A = this chain, B = another copy of it.
Amino acid sequence: MDCERWPYGDLAHLAHVELITPKPEESLWFFTEVMGMTVSGEEGDSVYLRGWDDYEFHTLKLTAGKAPALGHLAFRTKSLEALKRRVKALEASGLGEGWTEGDLGHGPAYRFRTPDGHLMEIYYETVWYTPTEATRPALKNQASRFPGRGANLRRLDHINILASDVGAVRTFLETYLGMKVTEQIVFSDGTEQGAWLTCNNKTYDVAITKDHLGAKGRLHHFTYAVDSREEVLRAADICLEHGVFIETGPHKHAIQQTFFLYVYEPGGCRFEIACPGARLLLAPDWKPIVWNEEERKRGQAWGLKTVETFHTYGVPPVEEA
C-alpha cells in the first residue's frame, strides 16, 4: 500500500533515545548544564530530558546502568492505523518482542529488535510537553523557552547505530519500517560500510555503521541539532571549558554534509552536536548517493582525516582483538 513506504511511510520521526549510563549524575550534569537540555520528569532510575524545541515530553531518557549503552530507540508513527500496520509487519518479521505500557512520555509501544539486536519501539500516543512557569516560551509556536544555558540544543536529530551486518539492519528498516536510504558507503569488495535512512524530509533519522570490532547491537552516537554552525563552534568552546572530551570536529562531513562536533558524555557515550542547515530531502524519487572506498579515504568534506577512534569506539566499549 502506498502509505507504507517512503515518501509516504508510516513513521513520523525518530522520537527518543534511551541512554544507559554508569555515571548518571555526571551524565545528567552534561546534558543539562553543558548541553542546555531540560529535565521534564523522573521515574525510578531514569531521568527524562528534551531540547528546547522538542514537542514531546522527552527525547532523551537517561537510565542508570552498568555500562554505557543504547537502552532503546523509539519512532513515533503517523497515526494509530499506521502503528497497527507496522506492528503487523513486525510481528511477521520474527523480531517482534511485544507491547509495553509506554512510560512517562508516551503511550503503548511495540518493541522489536533489529537483526543485530538493537532494541527499538514504535508508538503513536504521546505526551506533548507542557511548559512550566520556568520554561514557558515568549512565542507560543515554540515548545519551550530558549534556555540560554550551555549549547542550547534545539531538538533531537538522529542516531547512528553500529552493526556487524549493515545490510541486514538496513534491509530490516526498509522492509518493516518503510524507511528509505539516502546515502550509503559501499567498499570495493562490495561490503556495505554504512547506510543513512530517513522516514521524512530530514535527510536521515537513522544511520547504520559497520562495527569494525565485530560486535553486535552497539551504539556509535546520537545527535541533537542547533540552528547555526556558529552554535556548533560555541558548543566546542563550552565543552572545552567544562573539560568534556572532544573526539573530533568541529568540521563538515562529506556524507550528508552535516556540520558536526563529537564529544564523549561522562558515561562514555559518543554524542554529537550538529547543524543540518537548510538541507532537506524533498524529492520523492531521490536516489541514494553511494560513496566508495576511494572517496571515503579523502576524509571529511574539507579534508579532515577521520580519527581512528571514530572507526572503533562505540558503546558498550569492547576490547579490540
**A residues engaging B (CB < 8 A)?**
1-3, 7-9, 12-13, 34, 36, 53, 55-56, 76-79, 81-82, 128, 137-142, 145-146, 148-151, 154-155, 157, 183, 200-202, 225-231, 233-234, 236-241, 243, 246, 248-252, 254-257, 259, 261, 275-280, 282-284, 286, 289, 301-304
Contact = CB atoms under 8 A, between A and B. Distances in A.
B250 A251 contact: yes
Contacts of A76: 284
What is the predominant secondary structure among interface residues of chain A facing chain B? loop
Given A76-B284, A302-B236, A277 B140 contact: no
B8 A302 contact: no
A302 B146 contact: no
A76 B282 CA distance: 10
Nearest to A282: B13
Contacts of A275: 278
Given A148-B150, A228-B229, A279 B78 contact: no
Contacts of A155: 278, 280
A8 B3 contact: yes
Nearest to A137: B241
B301 A12 contact: no
State the copy count for this chain.
4
A183 B34 contact: no
Contacts of A251: 250-251
Shortest beta-carbon contacts, A-B, top 6: A227-B277, A201-B201, A13-B282, A78-B284, A225-B278, A138-B240
B55 A202 contact: no
Nearest to A240: B138
Given A55-B283, A138-B241, A2 B228 contact: no
B289 A141 contact: yes
A231 B229 CA distance: 10
A146 B151 CA distance: 12
Q: Among A13, A56, A248, find the residue whose CB has the most chain B CB atoms closer than 10 A.
A: A13
B257 A142 contact: yes
B8 A238 contact: no
Contacts of A201: 200-202, 280
A311 B32 CA distance: 40
Q: Among A137, A138, A157, A249, find the residue whose CB has the most chain B CB atoms closer than 10 A.
A: A138
B302 A249 contact: yes
B250 A138 contact: no
Contacts of A286: 55
A153 to B, nearest CB: 10
Given A12-B283, A284-B12, A237 B146 contact: yes
Given A55-B286, A228-B230, A304-B304, 14 more contacts: A3-B8, A12-B284, A141-B254, A142-B257, A146-B238, A200-B201, A201-B201, A201-B202, A202-B280, A226-B278, A230-B230, A233-B259, A275-B278, A276-B278
A252 B227 CA distance: 14
Given A227-B277, A251-B250, A79 B2 contact: yes
